[in-house]
């Protein structure tokens, strides 16, 4: 019965749960755009009467995000200098289309940004949450960690905008309170954010 429940979860359109096996506990998380199976504990040393939880995976079911969207967003961030700025990448489950969304900004300074996440129309999903740190370094701040604690999305911070060495990008997958390194860039045809 346990195996059947795990198989149902793995095949679900959306949801999450934990599988326990003799090689540890695995978070199984599904969104229409994401299939994520990641170990959340090391192998359990006590006897566990189950088999393996299976191989880890982190697959973008929506496919890679078109590179042009990242270029547009980086242009927008450059234009907003010296202030921070933000953008979202949305994906339509029915059509497979991607779109960028520039949020309403309530407050923007070189070190602080308050913005509203998009109100999603039916079928649209928020895939990627991108904000800039202006000319400052790209890293996830304590504020960013608090903002990302409950979301499932790809998060990117862009820093060193306008710097001769070009922008710097920090990335992670936020999943059910966990921050997971991205195994590869979520954008098509390029090495950014790997």
- Residue closer to Zn ion (CB basis): 6 or 86: 86
The residue within the footprint of Zn ion, chosen from 37, 129, 144, 148 (CB under 5 A), is 144
The dihedral over CA atoms of 147, 152, 153, 158, expressed in degrees to the nearest 10, equals: 30
Q: How far is the CB of 98 from Zn ion (least distance, A)?
A: 23
Nearer to Zn ion, 49 or 181 (CB): 181
Question: CB of 12: closest distance to Zn ion in angstroms?
Answer: 32
Task: Tell me how far apart the alpha carbons of residues 66 and 23 are, in angstroms, rounded to a whole number.
Answer: 37
Distance CA 89, CA 155 (A): 10
Cα–Cα distance between 29 and 37 in angstroms, integer? 6
Q: In sequence order, which residues have a C-beta less than 8 Å from that of residue 123 and are 6 or more positions away?
A: 92, 93, 94, 95
Our finding on whether 141 is near Zn ion (CB under 5 A) is yes
Evaluate the CA torsion angle 157, 96, 93, 2 in order and state its sign: negative
By CB under 5 A, residue 145 contacts Zn ion: no
Residue 109 near Zn ion by CB under 5 A: no
Choose the binding region for Zn ion from 31-39, 67-75, 99-107, 141-149 (rule: CB under 5 A): 141-149
**Closer to Zn ion by Cβ: residue 26 or 70:** 70
Contacts with Zn ion by CB under 5 A: the residue count is 2
* Minimum CB–partner distance for residue 145 and Zn ion (Å): 9
Please say which residue, 125 or 131, places its beta carbon nearer to Zn ion: 131
User: Is the Cα dihedral 140, 143, 147, 149 positive or negative?
Assistant: positive
- List of residues contacting Zn ion (CB under 5 A): 141, 144
């Amino acid at each position: 019965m346990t195996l059947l429940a795990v198989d149902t979860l793995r095949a679900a359109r959306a949801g999450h749960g934990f599988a326990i096996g003799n090689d540890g506990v695995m978070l199984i998380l599904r969104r229409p755009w994401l299939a994520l199976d990641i170990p959340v504990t090391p192998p359990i040393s006590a006897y566990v009467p189950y088999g393996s939880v299976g191989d880890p995976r982190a697959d973008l079911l929506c496919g890679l995000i078109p590179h042009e969207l990242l270029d547009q967003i980086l242009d927008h961030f450059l234009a907003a200098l010296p202030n921070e700025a933000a953008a979202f990448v949305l994906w339509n489950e029915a059509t497979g289309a991607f779109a960028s969304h520039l949020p309403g900004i309530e407050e923007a300074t070189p070190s602080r940004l308050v913005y509203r996440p998009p109100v999603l129309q039916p079928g649209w999903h928020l895939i990627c949450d991108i904000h800039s740190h202006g000319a400052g370094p790209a890293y996830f701040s304590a504020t960013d960690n608090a903002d990302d604690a409950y979301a499932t999305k790809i998060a990117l911070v862009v820093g060193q905008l306008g710097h001769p060495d070009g922008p710097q990008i920090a990335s992670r997958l936020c999943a059910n309170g966990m921050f997971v390194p991205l195994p590869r860039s979520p954008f098509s045809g390029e090495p950014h954010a790997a």
